[in-house]
Chain A
Amino acid sequence: MSERKRPKLPPEWQKAERLTRGIYRLHTPDGKYRYGFAFPDGTFTSFSSRHPISLEDLRLHYRAEVRGRRDQEMMRKGLGPTLEEIERAQKRRWEKFKRLGLVLEREEDAALLDD
């Protein structure tokens, strides 16, 4: 990314260490750290320091977030994925989960998954 296009970091991020594109490690005053994202559109967000997260998962979130935002923008211009494409992907995924035996007989049981 060119210097001109790089998002301007907020003051509390000045000591942040850049891990990879758009992903930062932010040092907090108590000596701990948390992770933060700087998106190409100039917005920022940070993860809670309470839950450990790997760099691989941070990358997954960053890419999903950037792609989601970009595709939303594309949709406004009449481009991007169609609803049929999304539904086809969901159906294919569901068939796969069924094959793997990952189905819920009672969907209220889903409440136990994020407990």
Chain B
Amino acid sequence: MRHFWTIEVRLVVDTNVRMAAELAFPKGRSPAAQLLQLLHKKFYNQLAGRQQRVTIVLLRSTGLQNELRDVLRRLRIPAEEIAAIVYEASFFSKFVNVTEEDTDALRVQAPPVAHDDLHVIACAIKGKATHIVTYDKRHLLTPEAKRFMRRYGIKVVTPAEMLDELRRLGDP
């Protein structure tokens, strides 16, 4: 029997990437939309039991879902669409139970520049993520935040960098 090696990539997708995938124009050229499309395709392949070089596990927490709903509400997106987007985010991902105590504990350790995104960091650490995908240059894509996340073996990347990394690993 042939041995088939797989690499598991565990991702936390920040709310701004989800928003970019929803609102980017034109959609075909959007790295965020391409990445989420690829993740959805791989999710279905995984459930169908198809062999894949790279498997992807998407992670979510109530904090991330709450932020997503909050941003959608602020943009006055109709309620039924908000429900559909939040549902899709839960359907395609694995739940990580992040408590208030978890984020409070991180407040002491994480660099102050990343304090606005502790819910993202907590989800990544507790869910044993390998990558955080974000467009947030002010808090997460900073050298301090990247250095802090490296301690946990987590890379902070943009959607385009993530797509490049998946291609390098042999996917898509």
What residues of chain A have their CB less than 8 Å away from a CB belonging to chain B? 34, 37, 43-51, 53, 57, 60-61, 63-65, 67-69, 71-72, 75-76, 81, 83, 86-87, 89-90, 93-94, 96-98, 102-105, 107-108, 110-111, 113-115
Contacts and interface: CB of A to CB of B under 8 A. Distances in A.
B62 A93 contact: no
Given A104-B23, A110-B135, A60 B66 contact: no
Contacts of B119: 48
13 contacts: A34-B100, A50-B100, A60-B83, A61-B66, A69-B95, A83-B41, A83-B44, A97-B23, A104-B20, A110-B17, A111-B134, A111-B135, A115-B138
Contacts of A69: 90, 95
A104 B138 CA distance: 19
B88 A65 contact: no
Nearest to A82: B44
Interface of B: 14-17, 19-20, 22-25, 27, 30-32, 37, 40-41, 44, 47, 62-63, 65-67, 69-71, 73-75, 77-79, 81-91, 95, 97, 99-100, 103, 116, 119, 134-138
Contacts of B91: 67-68, 71-72, 81
A61 B100 contact: no
Interface of B is mostly: helix
Question: By DSSP majority rule, is chain A's interface helix, strand, loop, or mixed?
Answer: helix
B19 A114 contact: yes
A-B pairs, 10 with minimum CB distance:
A68-B90, A110-B20, A107-B20, A103-B25, A64-B86, A111-B135, A68-B91, A110-B16, A64-B87, A107-B24
Contacts of A60: 69, 79, 82-83, 86
A96 B62 contact: no
Given A47-B66, A75-B47, A111-B136, 14 more contacts: A34-B100, A46-B62, A67-B87, A67-B90, A67-B91, A68-B91, A83-B44, A96-B78, A96-B81, A97-B77, A104-B24, A110-B17, A110-B23, A113-B15
